[in-house]
Structure 1
Amino acid sequence: MNTSATPGSIVLTEVGSKAVVLALDDHQVAALRAADLVTVSPAVDGRWKIKAGRKVGAIRVGNLEVEVTPKVGLANLLFFLGYAANPGFRPEDVAGVPTAGLWPALATSLIRHTRRALASGPLHGYATVEDALPLVRGRIRFGDHAAARPGVQLPIEVRYDDYSNDIPENRLLRTAVQRMLTVPRLREADQSDLIELDARLAGVRVLPQGAPLPVWRPSRLNARYAPALRLSELILRHCSADPGAGRYAIAAFVVNMEKVFEAFIGVALREALSSYGGHTETPGKWPLDVGQSIRIEPDVLHLVDGRPVAVFDAKYKIEPRAAKPTNPDVYQMLAYCTALNLRSGWILYAQGTEPPTTWRIRNTDTTIGYRPLNLRQPPEQLLNDVNLLAGLAMHEAAVPLQHPA
């Protein structure tokens, strides 16, 4: 179904059948294609057709806003993203997010967690500073001084530890707050709250766009920061902003749901399988042939004492009439089981339309299990389903539980 529209706010659904036709200039077309959130193809009368695929998120290009909503819901999407990057990410980190748009959901969640983090004031700590000073403080950087000022005594290149609020945790928070101030569709109250939080972090350096995120380690001292830090990392990894270096101001948050599903399942299974010893590869890498010229890469491969014991493959198929096992998927898993010398393998579908099924392959001892996962259910229940599947797979592989999950 095609719908004609004028530039403004357009909302599409992931893998939906709806397409919007509207007039765009060359800069808007180029920006939409670069963001790769939607497909943009020529229509009639010089207009362009915009259609959603398996990527979700939002983009603003000048006065044009396009949002593709995930079928799993915003809260679950944010949880999958956060958990895949850090299993310490908890469902409550994104609990209660608004459902009316990605930008308000991110802003409201960031405000709530950052306000709690700063309730007792910003954290302070010792940070290493490299500077040029008119006096000696800390250690002199002789090599840097000789290179920068040969024959000149002052100022002196030094390195010292300074006790301040300019630490990795606060840099993450302030950069995320400032990034959110560039996105569209924020309520005035949210903008005011973000400005207030930014002021409370005055003196903290803001990370440049694309800069590596600073490393922080959970501790007793920064425990109250943890939810805000996890959400800040999520925002900074996926949210980009151009305040208008080109013709239009651009803000974008784009994620590939197929990759999100595979990454989430990989981490969730790795955590569940850790109770059985060994190690988990995501993806696994193993030769298919004797000459080792052909490689297989199942999404999740668990090994104990260097021997494969369980294999899983995740399939993100949520289109109507497509979310059920296909012959190629089963053939692929049979090849995995044969090369790995396993008696069973598991195919995990997102939102399957068929009940759980197990196939016994003729003339072999191999069974292949199909398990649909309901990605719309609460994260705790989904993680529980993954734990149960891991336990079933390891039971069939006759690997005993080493310690309580």
Structure 2
Amino acid sequence: MREHGPAVSAPLDAESGRALAAAGILRSATPDPGRAGHWLLRAGSSVGAVRIPGGPVLRITPKTPVSRLFFLLGFSLDPARAWRDSREGTVDTGGYDDLVPALAHAVERQIDAALKQGVLQGYRTVEESALFVRGRIREADQVRRHFGRTPPVEIGYDAYTTDTAENRILRAAVERLLRLPGVAAPVRRRLALQRVRLGDVLPLVRGQALPRWQPSRLNSRYQPALRLAEVVLRGGSPEHRPAGTTPLTVDGFLFDMNKLFEDFITVGLREALREHGLTARLQDTHSFDTAGRVGMRPDLVVRSSDGRTPLAVVDAKYKVEKADGLLNADLYQALAYATVLGLDEAHLVYAAGREPLRVHEVHGAGIRLFQHSLDLARPPEGLISALEGIARQLTVSLPNP
């Protein structure tokens, strides 16, 4: 299937079809009235691949080229680095045109680079029962569990080990990728090698939260791999749990293109506006009405250097403009943002459009609404230049840029 493409009729049993519909993976999933045992599946903004137990593998291809998608992903993972390295395009996708093989290749290359100097070790607090004393005795546990008798002894100590949060995340990502459909055989073999290198690391328990790690000088060589690994681990395996039945797990990996585009626009503009001495807040929360019952949250609010005064508002829309070039609901939303924030203008940024810029003067309000369009098929340097152009447009009419 193709992102936001036409519906596809696929053979699915009733249980798998209902599970897929409930998982929220697709825009819609309904029984096909014209073919028994088939479901009509329509993709939305999620792209990737999922495997239905006992059913087919569903692959949803993005409208954006895969290499460009990974460029956009950089702004979600590490904004500062993405802005510095944007013109070089540092993510190696191996020349794959499909999302899952490209993702698996990129993650394996990053993990291989992280482990070239050896598996990172660190201190981890261990609490256990032992026949000898090591570290400190946990007196409360000793009394509660053994009534003061020894041995065994309840002890706690700091172990210098490879079983760290960073290595657990990398191993879990490798194991997730090995289960994904569509990973090329050469990449699968290299992933299996990385799993062997991380063999002394305990696997993560499925369903538990990812272990937390802190960026530091010691794990700097791990950080690119860790960010991609976390994308893998947070990108799939929804579960459908009908009442009184065992869960049906849908293995796979998915990107939400809506979120990816929003992150690219807001983070990229924030970094560009810093060069003009301005600050910006993402997902800035405000009250629409005086009673505070209705909230609103623009994607980006540009503020003065001290962060106090709103100067401009921006909302990202992963949409393509209509034939007449107008998206009325979006214009009404932008007008509400400008009115509540006391601004003379508001900006909407779309993923595609017939014109790079449209300006609408609101009758009787003295407010201008700007519609910007970006072509995501452009090379990275072209996208960065377009963002810099929007940032300049934002500063032109500010009261004190």
Shorter chain as denominator, the TM-score bin is: 0.7 to 0.9
Query: Which residue does the alignment assign to 1:3?
Result: none
CA distance in 2: counterparts of 1:202 and 1:160, whole angstroms:
23
1:24 partner letter: L
Shift of 1:342: 0.9
229-238 or 326-335: which moved more? 326-335
CA distance in 1: counterparts of 2:57 and 2:325, whole angstroms:
34
Say if 1:174 and 1:310 are closer, same or farther in 2 by CA, change over 3 A: same
CA distance in 1: counterparts of 2:238 and 2:231, whole angstroms:
15
Shift of 1:122: 1.2
Query: Which residue does the alignment assign to 2:242?
Result: none
TM-score (norm 1): 0.85
Query: Which residue does the alignment assign to 2:251?
Result: 251
**Count of matched residue positions in the alignment of Structure 1 and Structure 2:** 385
CA distance in 2: counterparts of 1:308 and 1:105, whole angstroms:
41
Where in structure 1 do 4 or more consecutive aligned residues deviate above 6 Å? 245-249
Q: State whether residues 163 and 201 of structure 2, in contact with CA within 8 Å, keep that contact through their aligned partners in structure 1.
A: yes
1:309 partner letter: L
Query: Which residue does the alignment assign to 1:223?
Result: 220
Q: State whether residues 60 and 66 of structure 1, in contact with CA within 8 Å, keep that contact through their aligned partners in structure 2.
A: yes
Q: In structure 1, the residue corresponding to 2:320 is in which secondary structure?
A: coil
CA distance in 1: counterparts of 2:206 and 2:90, whole angstroms:
24
1:23 maps to 2:11: yes
Say if 1:318 and 1:150 are closer, same or farther in 2 by CA, change over 3 A: farther
Shift of 1:376: 2.3
Query: Which residue does the alignment assign to 2:59?
Result: 67
292-301 or 268-277: which moved more? 268-277
25-34 or 189-198: which moved more? 25-34
1:296 partner letter: M
1:325 partner letter: L
Unaligned runs of 5+ residues in structure 1 are 1-11, 401-405
Shift of 1:275: 4.3
CA distance in 2: counterparts of 1:390 and 1:140, whole angstroms:
60
Q: Once the two structures are superposed, what CA deviation does each residue of 1:288-323 show, in whole Å capped at 9, x if it has no partner? A: 33444433322211333422111011111138x469
64-73 or 53-62: which moved more? 53-62
CA distance in 1: counterparts of 2:238 and 2:151, whole angstroms:
40
Q: In structure 2, the residue corresponding to 1:181 is in which secondary structure?
A: helix
Q: Once the two structures are superposed, what CA deviation does each residue of 1:376-399 show, in whole Å capped at 9, x if it has no partner? A: 223443234223322331342144
CA distance in 2: counterparts of 1:241 and 1:355, whole angstroms:
38
CA distance in 2: counterparts of 1:260 and 1:16, whole angstroms:
19
Alignment of 1:392-403 (within 5 A): 392-400=393-401
Task: Output the aligned Cα RMSD.
Answer: 2.8
TM-score (norm 2): 0.86
Query: Which residue does the alignment assign to 2:281?
Result: 281
Alignment of 1:196-275 (within 5 A): 196-240=193-237, 250-275=250-275
Alignment of 1:326-365 (within 5 A): 326-365=327-366
Alignment of 1:1-400 (within 5 A): 12-17=1-6, 19-38=7-26, 39-43=28-32, 44-46=34-36, 47-61=38-52, 62-88=54-80, 90=82, 92-240=89-237, 250-275=250-275, 279-304=279-304, 305=306, 306-318=308-320, 321=322, 324-400=325-401
1:96 partner letter: T
CA distance in 1: counterparts of 2:238 and 2:312, whole angstroms:
42
CA distance in 2: counterparts of 1:42 and 1:103, whole angstroms:
27
